[in-house]
Amino acid sequence: MSDQGSLRILHCFRSPVGGIFRHVRDLAEHHHKAGHQVGILCDSTTGGAHEDALFDDIMPFLDLGLTRTPIRRSVGPSDLIAFNKCANEIRRLQPDIIHGHGAKGGAFARLIGSRLRVSRSRVARLYSPHGGSLHYKSSRLSGKFYFAIERWLGGFTDGLAFVSDYERRAYMKKVGSTSARERLIYNGLSDDEFDDVVPDNSAADFMFIGMMRDLKGPDIFISAFARTEQIVGRPLTAVMIGDGDDKSKYEEMLLQSGRSERVTMRSAMPIAQALKLGKTIVVPSRAESLPYLVLETLAAGRPVIASNVGGIPEICGPDSGALVPPDDADALAKTMALSIQQPDSILQYLPDKADLRNRFSANNMARQMIDFYHECRA
């Protein structure tokens, strides 16, 4: 870790679920242990029992505390109330670094940080998109709107920390360059996450893990599963793990397809526990940045089949046979069927653990981020 002095670091993001939350938890733990003071500000209306347990785990690392207030996903009048509450809390904490994650967290962090700068604060304003608004298409009105906001916010940014080269390239193409410093810092895993996780004897053939929303492709998984059964000519089993507002929609899809007895749905749970419940993990996302799920699955020595989107090719290799075109249930089904017919076939397309450990280390991620914080603050 850098020896340039202790920092007061505040992470601001909307939804405490998924990859962003995992990324912030890792940074908080490593930076606390390195002598820095860390705090979190996020939404209070998302998450459930699983996320509450994760907050309990990281509380000892949050010297600046945990602040939760309602922050809606969409832009609206309620943002003014949330913004003022966040601004008052951030002013009280007087951070050296305010790091915004995702579109809403990034907007709040940079605007509030800029307000503090007017009062001669030296707070550095950083932003990590984590996909966020970059998932929108430039040709659509919604995309034009969000990218215009991102370009405007670029003038209030000291540092852009990207978690994948895909994310960096997408930002430069859709938003454009700014005067802010930029750095590519990959997500990383801790050493103990490279231990093998063996599936239970009763494990399902396939498993989906993630938020229950169309962006993550639960509907594609359900359609591909049905076609996989047709290809192999026999019934199969699957488990879908995750929470979200659209979960009932996918339950109805399973019911209508007549496969609800062979595809069970479970609430979100720790990844090590989840990986025991399925043999092959399927990641059918329509968009991603650099998903922890793929890293965690590979580090556990488990096969993964994923959409060729975002930064996933940076993990698996751009020509990996484990990657399929996005939003293509037929292509996904063919690869899923191959994993049934030739059980070890998918593993040959995936990186080995030594390579994975060298490229995606939590220690390296935390050290590089602190160095970047000091650079932006200077």
Report the DSSP beta bridge partners of residue 240: 208, 265
pLDDT category of residue 244 using cuts at 50, 70 and 90: confident
Q: Which residue has the higher pLDDT, 73 or 234?
A: 234
In a 3-state reduction of DSSP, which class is residue 223? helix
Sheet-wide strand order for 8-13: 65-69, 37-43, 8-13, 97-101, 124-128, 159-162, 181-184
Q: Please check the confidence at residue 71 and state whether its pLDDT lies above 80.
A: yes
C-alpha distance across the termini of the chain, in Å: 17
**2 pLDDT band (50/70/90 cuts)?**
very low
Instruction: Give this prediction's pTM.
Output: 0.89
Residues of the chain with CATH 3.40.50.2000: 8-188+361-377, 192-358
Question: How many whole angstroms separate alpha carbon 345 and alpha carbon 182?
Answer: 39
pLDDT tens, residue by residue, 120-155: 788 999 999 988 888 888 889 989 999 999 999 999
| Number of neighbouring beta carbons within 10 Å of residue 225 | 27
Q: Is 210's pLDDT higher than 50? A: yes
Rounded to 5 degrees, what are φ and ψ at 209?
-130, 130
Burial 315-327 (b: 16+ CB within 10 A, else e): bbeeebebbbebb
Spatial contact of 198 and 276, defined as CB atoms under 8 Å apart: yes
Mean pLDDT score across all residues of the chain: 94
What is the CA angle 288-192-286, rounded to 5? 10
So what's the pLDDT on residue 372? 98
User: What is residue 139's predicted lDDT score, i.e. its pLDDT?
Assistant: 87
**CATH number of the domain at 192-358, please?**
3.40.50.2000
pLDDT in tens, 262-296: 999 999 999 999 999 999 999 999 999 999 999 99
| pLDDT (0 to 100) of residue 13 | 95
Q: Which amino acid is at 156?
A: F
190 backbone φψ class: left, alpha, beta (φ>0; ψ -120 to 50): beta
Fold classification of 8-188+361-377 (topology level): Rossmann fold (3.40.50)
Q: pLDDT tens digits for 76-122?
A: 788 899 999 999 999 999 999 999 999 999 999 999 999 998 887 88
SS3 129: coil
**SS3 of 161, please?**
strand
pLDDT in tens, 292-339: 999 999 999 999 999 999 999 999 999 999 999 999 999 999 999 999
Check residue 3 and give its pLDDT.
Answer: 55
What is the dihedral sign for C-alpha 210, 362, 162, 294?
Answer: negative
Burial of 56 (0-12, 13-18, 19+ CB in 10 A): exposed
Task: Provide DSSP, 307-369.
Answer: ES-TTHHHHH-TT-TTEE-TT-HHHHHHHHHHHHHSTTTGGGGS--HHHHHHHSBHHHHHHHH
DSSP 163: S
Contact criterion met (CB below 8 Å) for 55 and 16: yes
pLDDT tens-digit readout, 341-358: 998 899 899 998 899 999
